[in-house]
C-alpha cells in the first residue's frame, strides 16, 4: 500500500469516526467546553486577533476556537471554520446561530490538506487539536503559512504526552488493557502524534515560520460522576467503539465498568470527577 493511499484511508476513517460521534458532541459539548474554553481563549490571544481581522479556524469541530474568535471580533471581521466532518460542521453552525454569531462565523466541511485558500487570505489562522491528525503535516503548514498576510500568525494546540491527558487517556488505556491491546503512545498516529515538543517545533521551522513560541496550558475537565464520564466517552469516543465492536455485550459492559472504576480514583469529596490535562500551544509568524 502506498503512503498516499494510507493517508487517504486514515482521513476517510477520521471523517467517518467524527461523523458517527457528532450526535454525542451535540449532547456533551457544553460539558467539554467548560474545560476547554481556556484553551480557545489562549489561541485567540496567541494569534493576536483584532476586530477587523479575517481568520481561518482549521479542524473547528463543534466550532472552536472559531466562535471565541467571532466574539472577540464582533461586530466586525469574519472567521471561517472548516472541518473534515460535515456532521460536526452542522453543530458548529447551530451553535453560531444560537449565540447570534452566524453572520461573522461561517462554517464549511473541508479537508485541511486540500487547503483551497490563496496567498495572503487571512490575518490569522487557528487550530485546536487538529494538527496531529494531518498525515501530511509539513506541506499543509506550508500552505497555511502562504495563506497568511505578512506577519500573520498561526496559533495551534495539540495534546501533551498521554500520561498528562487523562480526559482521553484514562478511557483509552482502560479499554486497551481490557482488550489486550497496547495503549496509544506519544508519536503514534492520532491524538498524541505531536506530543513531543521538539517534533512540533521542527515542523514549524521546516514550514518556514518564524518567531515560534511554545508553551503549555493546563485544562481541568469536570464530570458530575464516574457514570457521567463513562457516558461522555460512550457518546463521543469513536476509537473505543471501534475496539469494542466485535466484542460481546458482556465484554463491552465490562470495559465500560472498568472505565468508571478508573474514573472514580479522580473523585473529590463531593463525588465530582476532576481531571487536569496538559496541552501544548504553538504559534508561528509568516
If you ran DSSP here, which 8-state letter would residue 71 be given?
A: H
Q: Work out the end-to-end distance of the chain between its first and last CA atoms, rounded to an integer number of angstroms.
A: 36
Q: Which CATH number characterizes residue 44's domain?
A: 3.40.50.150
**Looking at the domain assignment, is residue 115 inside a domain?**
yes
* SS3 state at 155: strand
| Residue bearing cell 500520561 | 163
Q: What is the mean pLDDT of residues 78-88?
A: 96
Lowest mean pLDDT: which of 76-80, 124-128, 237-241, 259-263? 237-241
- Judge whether 81 lies within some domain: yes
Angle between helical axes of 3-46 and 66-73 (0-180°, round to 10):
30
For strands 273-285 and 210-223, give the pairing.
antiparallel
The answer, yes or no, to whether residue 149 has pLDDT greater than 70, is: yes
Q: What is the DSSP letter of 136?
A: T
Q: Is residue 95 part of a domain?
A: yes
Whether residue 210 lies inside any domain: the answer is yes
The verdict on residue 269 lying in a domain is no
Give the residue-averaged pLDDT of 164-171: 96
Q: 3-12, 58-67, 103-112: which has the minimum mean pLDDT?
A: 3-12
Instruction: Reply yes or no on whether the pLDDT at 238 is more than 60.
Output: yes
Full domain range(s) for residue 139: 3-161+189-219+277-285
Q: How many domains does the chain have?
A: 1
**What share of the chain in percent tops pLDDT 70?**
97
pLDDT of residue 20: 87
Whether residue 113 lies inside any domain: the answer is: yes
Q: Does the pLDDT value for residue 2 go beyond 80?
A: no
Domain for residue 11, yes or no? Answer: yes
Query: Does the predicted TM-score (pTM) go above 0.95?
Result: no
Is residue 258 included in any domain, yes or no?
no
Amino acid at each position: 500500500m502506498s503512503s498516499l493511499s494510507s493517508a487517504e484511508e486514515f482521513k476517510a476513517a477520521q471523517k467517518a469516526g467524527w461523523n458517527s460521534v457528532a450526535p454525542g458532541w451535540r449532547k456533551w459539548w457544553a460539558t467539554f467546553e467548560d474545560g476547554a474554553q481556556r484553551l480557545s481563549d489562549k489561541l485567540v490571544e496567541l494569534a493576536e486577533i483584532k476586530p477587523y481581522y479575517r481568520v481561518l479556524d482549521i479542524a473547528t469541530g463543534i466550532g472552536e476556537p472559531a466562535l471565541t474568535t467571532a466574539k472577540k471580533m464582533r461586530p466586525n471581521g469574519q472567521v471561517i471554520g472548516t472541518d473534515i466532518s460535515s456532521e460536526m460542521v452542522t453543530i458548529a453552525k447551530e451553535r453560531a446561530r444560537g449565540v447570534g454569531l452566524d453572520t461573522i462565523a461561517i462554517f464549511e466541511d473541508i479537508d485541511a490538506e486540500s487547503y483551497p485558500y490563496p496567498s495572503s487570505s487571512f490575518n490569522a489562522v487557528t487550530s485546536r487539536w487538529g494538527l496531529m491528525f494531518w498525515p501530511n503535516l509539513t506541506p499543509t503548514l506550508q500552505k497555511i503559512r502562504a495563506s497568511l498576510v505578512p506577519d500573520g500568525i498561526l496559533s495551534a494546540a495539540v495534546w501533551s504526552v498521554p500520561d498528562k491527558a487523562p480526559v482521553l487517556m484514562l478511557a483509552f488505556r482502560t479499554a486497551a488493557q481490557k482488550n489486550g491491546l497496547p495503549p496509544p503512545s506519544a508519536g503514534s498516529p492520532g491524538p498524541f502524534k505531536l506530543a513531543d515538543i521538539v517534533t512540533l517545533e521542527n515542523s514549524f521551522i521546516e514550514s518556514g515560520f518564524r518567531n515560534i513560541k511554545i508553551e503549555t496550558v493546563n485544562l481541568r475537565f469536570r464530570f458530575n460522576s464516574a457514570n457521567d464520564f463513562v457516558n461522555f466517552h460512550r457518546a463521543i469516543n469513536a476509537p473505543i467503539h471501534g475496539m469494542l465492536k466485535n466484542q460481546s455485550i458482556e465484554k463491552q459492559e465490562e470495559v465500560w465498568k472498568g472505565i468508571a472504576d478508573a474514573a472514580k480514583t479522580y473523585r473529590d469529596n463531593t463525588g465530582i470527577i476532576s481531571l487536569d490535562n496538559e496541552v501544548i500551544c504553538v504559534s508561528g509568524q509568516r
